Amino acid sequence: MKNRVMQLATAIALALATGTAAASGASDVTRATLDNGLRVVIVRDRLAPVVTTEINYLAGSDEVPAGFPGTVHAVEHMMFRGSPGLSKDQLAAIAANMGGAFNADTTQGVTQYYFTAPSQDLDVALRVQSLRMRGVDMAPAAWAKERGAIEQEVSRDLSNPSYKFYEQLQAQLFEGTPYAHTPLGTRDSFNKTTAAMLKRFHDAWYAPNNAILVIAGDVDPVATLAKVKREFGAIPRKTIPARPGFHFKPVMAKTIRLPTDSPYGSVYLGWRMPGLKSADYATAMVLSQALGSQRAALYGMGMNGTALFGGFFDQAMPAAGIGMAVGIFPRGGNPQPVLKRMQAILAKAAAKGIDPALVEAAKRKAIAALEFKKNSVAGLANAWSQALAFQGLESPDAIKQAIEAVTPQAVDALARVTFNPAHAVTAILTPQSSGKPVAGKGFGGAESFSSSPDKSVQLPAWAAKAFAKLAVPRSTLKPTSYTLPNGLRLIVQPESISGTVEVFGQIKTNQDLQSAKGEEGIAGVLGGLFPFGTTTLNRLQYQQALDAISARASAGSSFSLAVPSAHFAQGMRLLADNELHPALPPRAFAVVQHQMAGAVAGQIQSPAFLAAMGLQKALLPAADPQLRYATPKDVMGLDLAKVKAYYAKTFRPDMTTIVVVGKVDPATAKQVVEKAFGGWQREGAKPDVDYAAVPLNKPGQLHVPDSSASQDSVQMAQMIPVTRDNPARFALNLGNQVLGGGFYASRLYHDLRDKSGLVYTVGSRFDLGKHRSTYTVSFGADPDKVAAASAIVVRDLKQMQSEPVSASDLKRAKGILLRQIPLGESSFGAIGGQLLELSIEGKPLNAMTLAGQHYLKLTAKQVQQAYATYIRPTDFVTAVKGPAPKG
């Protein structure tokens, strides 16, 4: 990056007039502390014309009143209900108009509110954040409505057995401290919570001198700092209440047993570990990554057949953390051998230490990860927020020295202290049957909801001015496309924001159309064999070669690589070796085959599978290839010769696209890729791997009992006669932004959550294929609210067909879709995924800009006509997964 000395010098001078500021060691970072105590960090990132603002309040569930664990979570929700000078409806409309991410996250010690939006909307984002710091509307009536929505969120999370286990784990590891409860809250406590209590919490903790504002993206630091001062400078500082202390007790061993609706079982071993602000945090991070390495013994459980999968991960909070070993076992399997093996591995780590080679590899990868964080605007903002607000550091790179200083001896010492069986929390989550789909005629008594007319929202003048003009944004992507002699397509998008390269690849295959009858599951077995290395490098040697260059790679029909740019050629050689010359060893085949059969046995009995398959059977004709699925008998009937034949048949260069994004020029990338993949040959004609068109479905309903859930998960779906190349898709997509895609400002969100509190989340989407497509509305609700919510969905769709959307709704929907164009270019992952999808679908690489031009021209009448022509509100198939209906 170029040094911006003059700009930073100007920024310092500007800040000294009303506060303090300084340039960091990085040339594109500006810091300031306003007179009211607000700390500001501005990180310039030119990846795309996008900006992320994150306001981090140094208050979370640690600071809540006794007996009210969800107070801060409730305050977070109410922050979206409006503030003095900005109504709830105005806030929702502004968020939707900006088109990007507008949300919040509640943790133990920090609550974050963030925008990711086009850089042109920075002024609006800062104004919203400052208004919400000044105050928030906490009317009792508003809290009563929001309480219904937040209780739906509680029901959703409590329907997840993994969350139930995590809740109990925290209580055991952190008894007697604020960490003993999660930030989620409980229904009982919310029923006792008042709006006045929430306002007191906001007024006490939401202050400039208790906040850190991080701004990352394509912005001018000098101008941005001036805007921050204008919006936040006059907000008075406050006296912050005393924070709770942490006095950790020795952890007592405990075993937790829970049923799960998952198709497989899980075994966990959890320990308390150092927190983010601990002097030992870098050591703990290296220890976790070393234990979780693909070369380590826990991962090896999934490679030798002891378990379906094994690994280690950690979650760190400021004052303490959690280290977790995990082992997955098949439905109907015995968890005890997995548990004993995990205990033996951790006992050995405590007694004999960790392989020094794994420690060094973990250190290299942890340091390399600091560079990869630059590959996303939002990710970069997150990294700075994590460092400053959670870790108390000066920058994300500040931990680099601590990581470099970690020694194998320090890692071994921490392992000895941590992995004491007397302090371990053990959990076993066992799959249980839920029953088969049950046909139904309805879901409870009929309720009538009269529709109040939608009113146009009058935006504040400062917001209306920002959104007044609609235009197709200029794309910053300039990809270079090549087709190699063997038919492989290579797309290169150079980016110099970091010293890394990320590769995204896909082979267009379809097991349902390319495998013989009785070979269901063959693609999954093949995919499970790629981690076993190549014909020249076994799995440990292959992973060691990746570790040596701080790279991550995965192979299969979808493949990827993330590597420092200095090692791009070496990384591509390793990826190509795995992709084109997989070892496919007989012993590994036997392991993967049995693992797959065990996993499939659980999957086909799981509520999620039964609901999805029931929905598909109601949508598609009998014997449609999309209805094929693997059984244990199918998987055990496979042999290695069949798998190799399937690989040879389906892995073709002329069905493959590789996208390279990062610090590499197109010519060099072409040379490297051609050298690595150029010898790959094709045989025969290209296969057709797209499903054929099908008739439209008839309406239907089904219910899949799920005794482990406390909330229903609902999918309302139908086949539609619009494909991904049909021009009508533009009008349907535009209308979807009005109905279900605009989140806070969408009709479904407004009617189902905001007005009635029937659901926590709701969304609608089109899945458009080459020959067949579906339209789906999904939501989660308590069982007694499903009928009412479904009726509102149908009612809102009929309204889309019977009358044109308002001019303000149409303009907002267009603004959302247009602003999403630069947002789709704000990370390497988004760029790679977009270019890969466009290539696979045979569309031009500037298709997003062309779509923007279509959206700009559409009228409300055209949207209404599209919904009237292609959507059938009374012909949904409704699949409900959740508690059995009462009565």
- Grouping H, G, I as helix, E, B as strand and the rest as coil, residue 452 is coil
Mean pLDDT of all residues in 702-718: 90
Mean pLDDT of all residues in 467-488: 95
Of 180-194, 657-671, 693-707, 867-881, where does mean pLDDT reach its minimum? 180-194
With a cut of 70, say whether residue 13 has pLDDT above it: no
Mean pLDDT of all residues in 202-228: 97
With a cut of 80, say whether residue 717 has pLDDT above it: yes
With a cut of 50, say whether residue 403 has pLDDT above it: yes
pLDDT at res. 733 = 97
pLDDT at res. 858 = 98
User: Model confidence at 435, in pLDDT bands (50, 70, 90)?
Assistant: low
Instruction: State which H helix or E strand residue 346 sits in.
Output: helix 335-352
Half-sphere exposure of 194 (CA within 13 A, CB side): 3
Q: pLDDT tens-digit profile of 744-795?
A: 568 998 899 878 889 878 999 999 999 999 999 999 998 999 999 999 999 9
Highest mean pLDDT among 83-97, 715-729, 749-763: 715-729
Mean pLDDT for the chain overall: 91
End-to-end CA distance of the chain: 67
pLDDT at res. 4 = 31
pLDDT at res. 744 = 59
Report how far residue 479's alpha carbon sits from residue 494's, in angstroms, rounded to the nearest whole number.
8
pLDDT at res. 149 = 77
pLDDT at res. 95 = 85
Report how far residue 201's alpha carbon sits from residue 72's, in angstroms, rounded to the nearest whole number.
8
Of 25-39, 368-382, 825-839, where does mean pLDDT reach its minimum? 25-39
pTM of the predicted model as reported, rounded to 2 decimal places: 0.90
Evaluate whether 258 touches 426 at the Cβ level (below 8 Å).
no
Of 98-112, 268-282, 664-678, where does mean pLDDT reach its minimum? 98-112
User: Model confidence at 23, in pLDDT bands (50, 70, 90)?
Assistant: very low
Q: Which two tokens stand for residue 263?
A: 């198709």
Report how far residue 35's alpha carbon sits from residue 346's, in angstroms, rounded to the nearest whole number.
51
With a cut of 50, say whether residue 18 has pLDDT above it: no
- Grouping H, G, I as helix, E, B as strand and the rest as coil, residue 639 is coil
pLDDT at res. 742 = 57
Instruction: State which H helix or E strand residue 167 sits in.
Output: helix 161-173
With a cut of 90, say whether residue 327 has pLDDT above it: yes
Strands (E), 395-470: 425-431, 438-439
- Grouping H, G, I as helix, E, B as strand and the rest as coil, residue 448 is coil
With a cut of 50, say whether residue 236 has pLDDT above it: yes
Evaluate whether 589 touches 578 at the Cβ level (below 8 Å).
no
What percentage of residues in the chain have a pLDDT greater than 70?
93
Mean pLDDT of all residues in 174-202: 92
User: Model confidence at 543, in pLDDT bands (50, 70, 90)?
Assistant: very high
